[in-house]
Amino acid sequence: MPSLPTSLPSQHPLVDGRTASSPLVRAARGERSDTLPVWFMRQAGRSLPEYRASRAGTEMLDACLDPALASEITLQPVRRHGVDAAVFFSDIVVPVLLAGVDVRIVPGRGPVLDDPIRSAADVMALRPVDPEVFAPISEAVALTVAELGSTPLIGFGGAPYTLASYLIEGGPSREQLRARALMRTDPQTWATLLNWCADVTGAFLRAQVLAGASVVQLFDSWAGSLSRTDYQRRVAPHSRRAFDALRGLEVPRIHFGLGMGEMLDLQRGLGADVIGIDWRLPLDEANERLGGAVPLQGNLDPALLTAGEPLIARHVADVIERGSAAPAHIVNLGHGVPPDTDPGVLTRIVEIVHESGR
Amino acid sequence: MPSLPTSLPSQHPLVDGRTASSPLVRAARGERSDTLPVWFMRQAGRSLPEYRASRAGTEMLDACLDPALASEITLQPVRRHGVDAAVFFSDIVVPVLLAGVDVRIVPGRGPVLDDPIRSAADVMALRPVDPEVFAPISEAVALTVAELGSTPLIGFGGAPYTLASYLIEGGPSREQLRARALMRTDPQTWATLLNWCADVTGAFLRAQVLAGASVVQLFDSWAGSLSRTDYQRRVAPHSRRAFDALRGLEVPRIHFGLGMGEMLDLQRGLGADVIGIDWRLPLDEANERLGGAVPLQGNLDPALLTAGEPLIARHVADVIERGSAAPAHIVNLGHGVPPDTDPGVLTRIVEIVHESGR
């Protein structure tokens, strides 16, 4: 493990309380407020014309590492939609790149490695990440929170399983066959790789919090391809380790995984304060599975974003109603904003949520 | 609905009993036999060098419509592996193509439509399929069963939701957003399209059975992207309709869907005699969810196929042990054979299953 600073800078938001009474931070701590908070996964991105203008001519990973540009893109959806949080514009492979792994993002495909990491020797060659490499991230976060005022910034990182799957497969894959094979054939190399991913993504989250993020979300795109037993034994300990990198920093932690409806209790066991639910499982049912004890985030169906206002308004009302069963509710989509989404629809959803008057 | 023959030809296998005492047909009827039956989804295909040789220079859909070639490819894995069933070599979009829709298969991508079916007018323009278009299918099946002797042929068709998703999206998609949007915004067009898909895939299955298939499997690749409620209300009635096309033909029906662990009872409600389980859910747990009442198929993890013999043998033994809780068990993978699978591994699994001596 690289050594990490353990104390907060005096101007840290948790010290100065900048965002502590915001609806989002309060909901993440299980408190209700007059305003029901709402934000959207991937709100900073391709659905916004101002994003496409800002990004024009810049590669994705270059944009992530340009502090002024990353900050501007992070702020755009807050300005436009009036959402209750910014989410840091980045990519789950940014810390992997900063740790020295040769990864690039192919438009329309996603993260690609020309030399995937598949053998014990490949894994042994991975080096601990030096927290100093996160300087451009810290700078972008600092620029962002200076603009955000009392609106919280959510830090963002990929869960070890999803990160490791990209590293092993060399790119996106439907069922992570190679990753799951390595899990079985060489459990020690698997554990070493997932620990490395946990440390890298943990350091990335920690850098964001130290620079001013008030909440973090760990995102597991592929966990749904696992059996419950495999997740529990071979993955969950590493996701917990990623969260543990935040020790001493008392920011609320959101865990979101796709297709994890049968693993909500395991998500809770990671040390998550909030569990994000995808569109498949109604929030009242999710709340019941969690014994009514955990604030929930979600879970508007992204497929409804093209359905026109009456249907969307009815769907939002239904999600809010079901979410009211939970100790607290952060409204969000059940997955990221699809790239071709009409941004006006997102703005309207924010209005509807805020008018819901809870 | 096109009119369909309602009586069986006198030489039909269900009449002459050719396959009635085979281990696979018996297991599908819930009976145990001395041999535990095993076959593999996508066993006829890219993992076999003899398949690649046979297909060389022929487009996928042309191969499906060439009776001698489709029959040869269907027989190859039976000869090589000694599996307990052949599964008809075809593609779920073959009946769609035969019904006059312009669909092609792009290697490495899958079925693609240059003019996706998205509007009410598009759906209204779809015409009922004439059973006579299935002549090349019937001929291929007849050639195949003549070679198979007492080994059953499994007929194969795509479930209406998966078929409709391809038609609406124009190709493979990760979350079927457009399909699920149409489901909400125009439930009547949705129902009309899914009924059309049910009739087309139902007629395809019926043609295979009338020509000699002893069992059918309806395959729903994408059902796991749906909430339980959406599946139940907007999809299941159409899958039931596809099975209903087999009325009067008393062949066992297998239903397989990916990511349907929370919908097993709904699958049973379709009129399925056997439920195929993917690799995520242990068979003993699946059996418990079904009240111990339904024969199960599955569910070796395809990720284990590269893991080497000791691990595979242990995994096969575990799956057999868990499957022994069910009224009957057909061993299979929890999804299709990955294209780069070593065929020797599949042959060895067949030996291990047959040696298991149940």
What pLDDT does B16 receive?
A: 56
* Per-residue pLDDT reduced to its tens digit, B304-323: 999 999 999 999 999 999 99
Is A146 in CB contact (< 8 Å) with chain B?
no
B182 assigned to some structural domain: yes
B223 assigned to some structural domain: yes
pLDDT at residue A87 is higher than 90:
yes
- Residue at token pair 């109604």: A282
What mean pLDDT is predicted for residues A162-166?
97
pLDDT at residue B9 is higher than 60:
no
Least CB-CB distance to B308: which of A185, A305, A338?
A185
- Give the distance from CA A3 to its chain's centroid: 24
**Strand, coil or helix: what is A87?**
strand
Query: Is A104 marked within a binding site?
Result: no
Q: Count CA atoms within 13 Å of residue B220 on its CB side.
A: 36
* Per-residue pLDDT reduced to its tens digit, B93-136: 999 999 999 999 998 889 999 999 999 999 999 999 999 999 99
Q: Smallest Cα–Cα separation from B64: which of B79, B80, B45?
A: B45
Predicted complex: ipTM over 0.90: yes
What pLDDT does B262 receive?
A: 97
- Give the distance from CA A45 to its chain's centroid: 14
B312 assigned to some structural domain: no
B320 assigned to some structural domain: no
Q: Smallest Cα–Cα separation from B152: which of B20, B273, B254, B8?
A: B20
pTM: 0.94
What mean pLDDT is predicted for residues A22-47?
95
Alpha helices, DSSP H, located in B17-66: 23-28, 49-55, 60-64
Least CB-CB distance to B302: which of A177, A301, A305?
A177
**Strand, coil or helix: what is A329?**
strand
CB contact under 8 A, A225 and B280: yes
Query: Is A43 marked within a binding site?
Result: yes
Query: Is A335 marked within a binding site?
Result: yes
pLDDT at residue B4 is higher than 90:
no
- Give the distance from CA B206 to its chain's centroid: 13
Nearest CA-CA distance, residue A229 and chain B, Å: 9
B333 assigned to some structural domain: no
* Per-residue pLDDT reduced to its tens digit, B66-90: 999 999 999 999 999 999 999 999 9
What pLDDT does A174 receive?
A: 86
Is A306 in CB contact (< 8 Å) with chain B?
yes
Is B354 in CB contact (< 8 Å) with chain A?
no
Residue B68's contacts (CB-CB under 8 Å, 6 or more residues apart) are B140, B143
Has A51 been annotated as catalytic? no
Is A226 in CB contact (< 8 Å) with chain B?
yes
Query: Is B166 marked within a binding site?
Result: yes
pLDDT at residue B143 is higher than 50:
yes
CB contact under 8 A, B185 and A229: no
List the structure tokens of A137.
Answer: 């991230």
Is B308 in CB contact (< 8 Å) with chain A?
yes
Least CB-CB distance to A181: which of B229, B262, B304?
B304
What pLDDT does B358 receive?
A: 52
Has A42 been annotated as catalytic? yes
Nearest CA-CA distance, residue A222 and chain B, Å: 12
Catalytic residues of B: 42, 46, 55, 91, 166
Taking the CA atoms of B5, B10, B11 and B15 in sequence, report the sign of the dihedral they define. positive
Q: What are phi and psi of A156, to 5 degrees?
A: -140, 135
Cα–Cα distance measured from residue B298 to residue B302, given in angstroms and rounded to the nearest whole number: 11
- Domain residue limits at A207: 39-295
SS (H, E, C) B176-197: CHHHHHHHHHCHHHHHHHHHHH
Is A307 in CB contact (< 8 Å) with chain B?
yes
Interhelix angle for A160-169 vs A236-244, to 10°? Answer: 110
CB contact under 8 A, A259 and B262: no
| Minimum CA–CA partner of B341 in chain A | A177
Residue B350 — very low, low, confident or very high, per pLDDT cuts 50/70/90? Answer: very high
| Minimum CA–CA partner of B261 in chain A | A262
What pLDDT does B15 receive?
A: 46
* Per-residue pLDDT reduced to its tens digit, B231-247: 999 999 999 999 999 99
Nearest CA-CA distance, residue A311 and chain B, Å: 8
pLDDT at residue A358 is higher than 80:
no
Least CB-CB distance to B306: which of A181, A224, A308?
A181
What mean pLDDT is predicted for residues A320-326?
97
Q: Which residues of A touch B337 (CB under 8 A)?
A: none
What mean pLDDT is predicted for residues B11-22?
72
What mean pLDDT is predicted for residues A145-160?
97
Is A262 in CB contact (< 8 Å) with chain B?
yes
Q: Which residues of A touch B304 (CB under 8 A)?
A: 181, 184
pLDDT at residue A6 is higher than 50:
no
CATH code, domain carrying A70:
3.20.20.210
pLDDT at residue A116 is higher than 90:
yes
Is B281 in CB contact (< 8 Å) with chain A?
yes
What pLDDT does B108 receive?
A: 84
Domain count along chain B: 1
* Per-residue pLDDT reduced to its tens digit, A189-221: 999 999 999 999 999 999 999 999 999 999 999
pLDDT at residue B189 is higher than 50:
yes
Residue B174 — very low, low, confident or very high, per pLDDT cuts 50/70/90? Answer: confident
B327 assigned to some structural domain: no
A277 assigned to some structural domain: yes
B84 assigned to some structural domain: yes
CB contact under 8 A, B304 and A176: no
List the structure tokens of B266.
Answer: 């709904």
* Per-residue pLDDT reduced to its tens digit, A245-289: 999 998 999 999 999 999 999 999 999 999 999 999 999 999 999
CB contact under 8 A, A307 and B226: no
CB contact under 8 A, B226 and A282: no
pLDDT at residue A339 is higher than 80:
yes
Measured CA to CA in angstroms, residue B193 lies from A67, A199, A303, B123, B179 at distances of 49, 49, 18, 6, 11
Least CB-CB distance to B338: which of A177, A305, A307?
A177
Alpha helices, DSSP H, located in chain B: 13-16, 23-28, 49-55, 60-64, 67-81, 94-98, 120-124, 135-148, 160-169, 177-185, 187-210, 228-230, 236-244, 264-269, 283-289, 309-323, 343-355
Q: Which residues of B touch A262 (CB under 8 A)?
A: 261-262
List the structure tokens of A311.
Answer: 């249907």
CB contact under 8 A, A311 and B261: no
Is B21 in CB contact (< 8 Å) with chain A?
no
| Minimum CA–CA partner of B226 in chain A | A280
CB contact under 8 A, A282 and B227: yes
Length of chain B equals: 358
Is A281 in CB contact (< 8 Å) with chain B?
yes
| Count of C-beta atoms within a 10 Å radius of residue A265 | 14
What pLDDT does A108 receive?
A: 84
Q: Smallest Cα–Cα separation from B101: which of B120, B132, B122?
A: B122
| Minimum CA–CA partner of A174 in chain B | B174
Interhelix angle for B177-185 vs B187-210, to 10°? Answer: 120
CB pairs under 8 A between A and B: 76
Q: What are phi and psi of B215, to 5 degrees?
A: -150, 155
